[in-house]
Structure 1
Amino acid sequence: MPAPLRVDSDALPADVADELEAFDLPGERLERWRLPRNGYRPTTWVARDADGIVAAAALTSGRPATAAVKIVDVWWRDRAAAVLLVDAVVERSRSVGDVAVKWEVPAGAELPAFAAEQGFMQMRRPWAAVGTEAVGGFVRWLAPAEHDEPGYYAQTTLFTCGAVAALIASEGSSAGGFSGGEADRDAEVGFWRRASNYPACEPVGLAVALHDHLVDATVEVALDIDGPALLEGLTGFDRSFRAELQDDSLRQAGERGMPVRRDRVAVSEIARRVDAGEQALLLIDEAPMHGESGPHWIVAHARVGDAVIVEDPWISVEVGETWVDTHEMPVRPEDLDRLVRWSADAYRGVVFVAK
């Protein structure tokens, strides 16, 4: 039996990989431990036997400003030690207020049988996920999680996040969204062209394009700024051209009878409305999640516990993220409040959709 379980916070994943190498793990598996995940909360969990030899080891990571942790890998010589490690990951996650523990399984591998006994359930496979589609994903919700799981699609360009968020939100409508087929990228780029302020999608233009796509849905915009959005740092023609496009989008919204609110939407309203079945496209600043500021669109679709569940079209593959991270991603209210704001003015752009 292993010695009492401990979390070695000083142990780097690469150092644990060096220990595991003695047990003839394949190089591809060891590489998952050695991949730099700095900034994405890499943590090693180690159980040792009486001689100090590793009996089981686990690696977890998690995107900042989210209420989930992902098990990247679990290795063991002693099954009981592995069960104890996973239990410890779950309990630590619960203690810090997370609402989900996910488990990523490489292509061709299977989740260990004891994981199902611990409550891990398979997640829906994505339509597309920038090369990570073959990875398997499982989740254990730590709070009641009765909601419909949407499909997932990862953006294929740096600037089509708004279009992807809108099309994810369109699933189940008569117009439809993604299908997992060859036409999906055409749909992504085509929607972006209709909604774009070149290259960004600003809230009103995105809402107009979504309204026209869905036809029979109710679309509402909330943007607490009177002038044009997402034009910070632009001057001259670059600014005036895009501002003119936004004026035209505002005119089109009026012609369609689409509400454009100028009050500041509270996070509590976002949570309440998605809990009631609406979806909300959210303009966020990526800084709390990635450490670098940039405008980005995600879509909120449910609530679990006090967390809002979102689909994020962006996957940071270079630091080990896969669709398992960015699909069904829970965000606490306090983190959502930091995320859903943009620029030095911290304005908030939200598009509500009721199909």
Structure 2
Amino acid sequence: MQSIEPALAEGADAVAAVLARGLADALGPERAALWRVERSGYRPSAHTLDGSDGILAAVLTSGRPATAATKIVDLWVAPDAPGDAADRLIDGVLARASERGDAAVKWELPEGAAVPESAVIHGFAPMRKPWGAVGTEATRGLVRWLVSMPHEEPGYYGQTTLFTCGAVAGLIATERYGTPGFAGQNAPDRDLEIEFWRRASNYPACEPIGLAVTVQEHLGSRAAVKVALDHAGPVLLEDFTGFDYDFRAELQRESRKRAADLGISVDGSRIPMTEVAARVAAGDQALLLIDEAPMHADPGPHWIVAHAAAGPYVVVEDPWVNRATGETWVDTHELPIHVDDLERLVAWGPEGYRGVIFLSTP
């Protein structure tokens, strides 16, 4: 009987070394290309079972920084591997995810692929099919929660432009209240995305109060909207001067007037993420203005929506799918984040101001 020892190779160079040990030839060119996608900033790891004749089974995983989820990208098992090879590898993936404090492990499956038996054995459950996911809709997703997180799974839609994250986050959140939203139809859904952004936009960004006003107008009396923003002046205008600054600042002053007319309260104190987590756990949703730098090593303002929480974890929908690094909607849907990471994420600009929009049932 072959002696089999599980091994873990973490980092892009380590994964490349595993491929060079014969795994690339075993996978074949198309499948090996999936393993070679540039994931260096996204925690790529290879879990392997090695026998005396080489690699018998391997799992590729990744995970977005500043989040609490690991994704299984691919599982390969050699024809002559022991029957428990896949299960042993998945045990290792789950154990490593638990060690690093993850709240969930996800499993990405290509279109038409059957759910692996080991996924069923380890309690992975299917995730809801997205309304739209910028070219990754055909991918299937499973999830195994490592912490108790009872909640209703929302729908998912990936933004189709670089600038419509606020509109998409707002529309995802409004589904809970029975408002017209995404329906999984390409042209109408994109029309809705663009139309909502046009109403909420400060050109091109959606600032907190203007976005809150548009969300409240969309919801009507179905839900109440409140804002927490610890900055008295115009926001998201750090790169503008002169006329470009002035007209956007004027739009923000008009948004504050409109918010007052609609009864939207604006709290100027700085809200801790523990309070956001507590309010979301109690039934609110929260649109969060984040800096993408902790996730992608590239600063930029971005909107996500927090819809569930338990303990130190908040679960969000992130409209941005970074396809260049191998992400699909499986990464960005039902994405858990620890409150300590949210403290770093939910801050923008040199002053690090914090913008949060709460939605709650009246």
- Measured against the shorter chain, the TM-score band is over 0.9
CA contact (8 A) 1:2 1:55 kept: no
CA-CA distance at 1:111 after TM superposition: 2.2
CA contact (8 A) 2:227 2:355 kept: yes
Residue of structure 1 equivalent to 2:7: 6
* Structure 2 counterpart SS, 1:171: helix
Residue of structure 1 equivalent to 2:170: 166
Q: Which amino acid aligns with 1:43?
A: S
**Separation in 1, partners of 2:69, 2:3:** 28
Residue of structure 2 equivalent to 1:69: 70
CA contact (8 A) 2:86 2:118 kept: no
**Separation in 2, partners of 1:37, 1:206:** 33
**Separation in 2, partners of 1:175, 1:329:** 23
Q: Does 1:352 align with 2:320?
A: no
Count of matched residue positions in the alignment of Structure 1 and Structure 2: 353
Q: Which amino acid aligns with 1:4?
A: E
**Separation in 1, partners of 2:355, 2:5:** 50
Q: Does 1:314 align with 2:320?
A: yes
The alignment's TM-score, normalised by the length of structure 2, stands at 0.95
**Separation in 1, partners of 2:286, 2:74:** 33
Q: Does 1:273 align with 2:273?
A: no
**Separation in 1, partners of 2:300, 2:143:** 29
Residue of structure 2 equivalent to 1:219: 225
Residue of structure 2 equivalent to 1:109: 113
Residue of structure 2 equivalent to 1:297: 303
Q: Does 1:89 align with 2:89?
A: no
* Structure 2 counterpart SS, 1:228: coil
Q: Which amino acid aligns with 2:183?
A: S
Q: Which moved further from structure 2: 163-172 or 73-82?
A: 73-82
1:35–1:117: structure 2 CA closer, same or farther, 3 Å change rule?
same
* Structure 2 counterpart SS, 1:22: helix
Superposition misfits of 4+ residues, deviation over 6 angstroms: none
**Separation in 2, partners of 1:198, 1:207:** 16
Root-mean-square deviation over aligned CA pairs:
1.3
Structure 2, unaligned stretches of length 5 or more?
Answer: none
Residue of structure 2 equivalent to 1:246: 252
CA-CA distance at 1:233 after TM superposition: 2.5
* Structure 2 counterpart SS, 1:183: helix
**Separation in 2, partners of 1:174, 1:303:** 21
Q: Which amino acid aligns with 1:63?
A: R
Please point out which of 80, 99, 102 is paired with 1:98: 102
**Separation in 2, partners of 1:64, 1:301:** 20
CA contact (8 A) 2:284 2:359 kept: yes
CA contact (8 A) 2:10 2:43 kept: no
Residue of structure 2 equivalent to 1:145: 149
CA-CA distance at 1:174 after TM superposition: 3.5
1:22–1:256: structure 2 CA closer, same or farther, 3 Å change rule?
closer
The alignment's TM-score, normalised by the length of structure 1, stands at 0.97
Q: Deviations over 1:210-253 (max 9, x none)?
A: 00000011000110001001001311100010000000000000
CA contact (8 A) 2:280 2:306 kept: yes
1:246–1:321: structure 2 CA closer, same or farther, 3 Å change rule?
same
Q: Which moved further from structure 2: 53-62 or 74-83?
A: 74-83
Q: Which amino acid aligns with 1:325?
A: D
**Separation in 2, partners of 1:2, 1:142:** 30
Q: Deviations over 1:293-336 (max 9, x none)?
A: 00000000001442100000001101100000000000001100
Residue of structure 2 equivalent to 1:38: 40
Q: Does 1:29 align with 2:35?
A: no
* Structure 2 counterpart SS, 1:56: strand
CA contact (8 A) 1:162 1:298 kept: yes
CA contact (8 A) 1:285 1:340 kept: yes
**Separation in 2, partners of 1:21, 1:276:** 48
**Separation in 2, partners of 1:176, 1:26:** 46
* Structure 1 counterpart SS, 2:5: coil
Q: Deviations over 1:37-61 (max 9, x none)?
A: 1100101111111x15111111100
Q: Does 1:197 align with 2:202?
A: yes
**Separation in 2, partners of 1:145, 1:28:** 36
**Separation in 1, partners of 2:180, 2:43:** 36
1:243–1:7: structure 2 CA closer, same or farther, 3 Å change rule?
same
Structure 1, unaligned stretches of length 5 or more?
Answer: none
1:2–1:179: structure 2 CA closer, same or farther, 3 Å change rule?
farther
Residue of structure 2 equivalent to 1:185: 190
Residue of structure 1 equivalent to 2:159: 155
* Structure 2 counterpart SS, 1:222: strand
Residue of structure 1 equivalent to 2:211: 206
